[in-house]
Amino acid sequence: MTHEGGTTMEFAGYVVLGLVAGLLSGVIGIGGGVIIIPALVYLFGLSQHQAQGTTLALLVPPIGLLAALQYYHAGYVDLKVAGLVCLGFFVGGLFGAKIAVGLTDLTLRRIFGAVLLFLALRMLLGK
C-alpha cells in the first residue's frame, strides 16, 4: 500500500475527511461511498480499488464485512487510513446529526441534492 508510512499531515487529513464525511452523514445521510471514496482517490491518491476497499473496511460492521475481506485479501485495504477516517466519521456524524435535526425537510433535501450534484459533476468531468 502506498500510504502505510504516512506523515502527520496525511493522518490529520484522513481524520478531517472522516469528520467531513461524518458531518455530511449526520446531516444528509451520506458519507461512505459518496464522500470518502472520491476524496481518497482525488485528494489522497489512492486507486479506485484501494479507496473502495479501505472505505468498506472502515464501514464494516456488519454490512460490508464479506466485501471488505475480499478487498483486504487482494491487498486493497489500508487499515491505518480506515481507522483514522473512521475516527473522524464517528465524531463528525454526531455533529452532523445535531445540525440536521434543526433543519427543515426542504432545506435538508436541497442540501442532499446539491452535494450529490457536485460530486456527480466532479466525477464525470474531472480527470
pTM, rounded to two decimals? 0.67
In a domain, 13, yes or no: no
| Closest-CA residue to 78 (of 7, 2, 27) | 2
85-117 pLDDT, tens digit each: 889 988 988 888 888 889 888 888 888 789 889
Q: What is the pLDDT averaged over residues 47-59?
A: 83
Q: What's the CA gap between 77 and 71, in Å, rounded? A: 6
- More reliable by pLDDT, 27 or 46: 46
Per the structure, the count of domains in the chain is 1
Q: What are the grid coordinates assigned to 85, written together? A: 477516517
In a domain, 7, yes or no: no
Residue 116's domain comprises: 19-125
- Under the banding of pLDDT at 50, 70 and 90, the label for residue 126 is confident
In a domain, 118, yes or no: yes
**Exposed, middle or buried by CB within 10 Å (0-12, 13-18, 19+), for 85?**
buried
In a domain, 88, yes or no: yes
- Under the banding of pLDDT at 50, 70 and 90, the label for residue 73 is very high
In a domain, 14, yes or no: no
In a domain, 86, yes or no: yes
